[in-house]
Structure 1
């Protein structure tokens, strides 16, 4: 059964989120048979939204969305939020809701540090409270810890109000991934029967028409950026004081070190301040570009479909004409033409199926967004 004949309600979309290096892309590749890029170093590979080709799970076609974490090594949190928000808003406007969201967490982490806490905080603001029943927190990398150690950490994560307890109390589930297809499939089976729901960020941007700074996720990021700016200011005051002391004491070595540190801090302050200012403008720019490219892609796809259909029609007509001109006594020739007609129809259906299944609305959005960000 080709994907062209699958009813809309049998198409399921699931987003996979979490910190950089938490195993999001590996999870998607294992369960979907995809070949998305996986990071093998300290540097992130998933710096843009990626969409895996749809695959069949039971009687459902599943599309998995791979998202970058809010600790990406190549893009700022502002860039990450604007690209995720632009993608999700455009998908929602195209009629796509998420049947579920997977949040990946490494059980191998000794503690849930600042980076993990910030990622999960942003995740909650993106999702909102009403979609938590469609959320699964997936602990993975169980092979890197003793089982009893992993179980103790899992219990702490589930029972401590500073970690996952609040979302679990409101309907989210915590499941384990053992880095194999069986556990990954079990996780998706839990989600694919859910009623698809819009995330908070989608409702805020599309239904309520909010500016990204007015959204819960945008507000949270802006608060964090302002807090970071304030911490940098306090550090700068201390550095300036220490620098003046070094000058008075004529300590040239310390003076040079402090001047280097001051320069680095000033550059970081400028970067953070710029990130704070450009949050709204970047989102607006990406949405405009996304809509422009989507129009271009739709027009190109329409033209491509028209050309393919015309070529298909012409080839069919030529074969039918050859069939009619072949005498009934030449049965072997007529049978050959019948096979050619059947093969031509199958080839055409396969091309149509690949074109739809290989990219589709979500795939086009991810491809276009990647092109915009790397232009």
Structure 2
């Protein structure tokens, strides 16, 4: 295995005439501001980002090393936002940054890139550099499809070639393939220029995440042993005044948006033709169905426009957007908590009312039972009294009969 190569900083020309602002490099008292309960990170700390597609095992990897990681159990993206997880390797602290992939099930590539760029920007301004990046890839994928290829392209552009030396590409899910199949796929990925060949040439290392916590720990030990820090290309680009869309990674996302926008236009034209035909033929069923399709298409077009606007944000705007988003999320969380509290209060009230009603019914039942028992006892006493009375009357009648017959009655 080869060592790390390349500089720990980027030597690129800024997109504008301005230069990286003074004072953004490490300062002893600087730290990444706490956000939504995230741990504080300082310039002297070891920070390792974990990246890759949804389902590659990012959260699982982190869970081997940090107790507060959440592991997803479906194809829905578990890591919808960036989260920081403290770990300890060989007595040393390390912070693992869990990032969403550019195939997120809930959020667009522009939104994901904005979140990643904002975190990197704030880290950069706080003087915090990345010590390494672990990029996870499923060895079970028999081909690198559109999403995986797109994810890798954006990843490369986000780093810049000088950042390749900080990357460890780790293949996962080896237990789901035979060794022969896994080795063949790994070899193809290494040798293909569209995939890992360029990264390897720039100093990236290939590892197998095939032994749980043992292999995960070895990877972190390797990165920490290099004692390198890297500034990513997107950090320099945006520090020099570029908007998100002006960065190389942003231009890649914007290119996809333009293609999607053109597709939407074609779909809309075809939909209009179908609508005219349905109206002409008075086909109400088809017309209603097409109206639903048009509503969905319109919503998708609005998302594209929103993403295009998002890509126009510079470093400060991204930070403002993120602050607004956090405020909105906290407000929504507060509202949910209030609604939950209200629901629980209503549920407790209903439960209390049901318990009172149950207790009342039980008490009423016991009272009715006692009354019935008392009535039964009273009836029994009456019957006994009548029997005694009847016995007495019968005895008197017998005595009278004997007297009338002239018999002797002994009293």
Q: Give TM-score, length-normalised by structure 2.
A: 0.65
> In 2, are the aligned partners of 1:289 and 1:372 still within 8 Å (CA)?
no
1:50 paired residue number: 83
- 1:108 is matched with which residue? 140
Aligned to 2:223: 191
C-alpha displacement of 1:88? 0.9
Provide structure 2 residue ranges, at least 5 long, that are not aligned to the other structure.
1-41, 332-411
Equivalent in 37, 49, 56 of residue 22 of structure 1: 56
SS in 2 for 1:61: strand
- Number of corresponding residues: 289
Counterpart in 1 of 2:255?
223
Residue among 23, 39, 50 paired with 2:72: 39
CA distance in 2, matches of 1:212, 1:36: 29
2:363 equivalent in structure 1: none
Deviation at 1:10, TM superposition (A): 7.2
Q: Show the 5 A alignment for 1:122-271.
A: 122-194=154-226, 195-206=228-239, 208-271=240-303
Q: Distance in 2 between matches of 1:154 and 1:374?
A: 43
Structure showing greater Rg: 2
Distance 1:163 1:243 in 2: 44
Q: Deviations over 1:75-114 (max 9, x none)?
A: 2222211111111111121111111111111111222111
Deviations along 1:146-171, one digit per CA (max 9) or x if unpaired, are 22111121111111222222212222
User: What is residue 378 of structure 2 aligned with on the other side?
Assistant: none
How far apart in 2 are the matches of 1:271 and 1:283?
Answer: 22
For residues 43 and 246 of structure 2, the distance between their equivalents in structure 1, rounded to whole angstroms, comes to 32
Matched, 1:13 2:47: yes
What is the aligned partner in structure 1 of residue 350 from structure 2?
none
8 Å CA contact retained: 1:140, 1:178: yes
The alpha carbon displacement at 1:219 in A equals 1.8
The 1:372–1:49 alpha-carbon spacing in structure 2 relative to 1, beyond 3 Å, is: farther
Query: CA separation in 2, counterparts of 1:161 and 1:238?
Result: 38
8 Å contact 1:10–1:59 — kept in the other structure? no
Relative contact order (alpha carbons < 8 A, sep ≥ 6): 1 or 2 greater? 1
Q: 1:28 to 1:12 in 2, by over 3 A?
A: same
SS at match of 1:196: coil
Q: Which of 98, 102, 107 is matched with 2:130 structurally?
A: 98
Distance apart, 1:251 and its partner CA: 4.2
Q: CA RMSD in A?
A: 2.5
Residues 1:373 and 1:204: Cα distance change in structure 2 (over 3 Å): farther
2:8 paired residue number = none
Any idea what the Cα deviations from partners look like across 1:7-43, whole Å, max 9, x if unmatched? x89742110011122111110111x232211211232
Find the residue that maps to 2:86 and give its secondary structure.
coil
Q: Which runs of 5+ in 1 are unaligned?
A: 1-7, 294-367
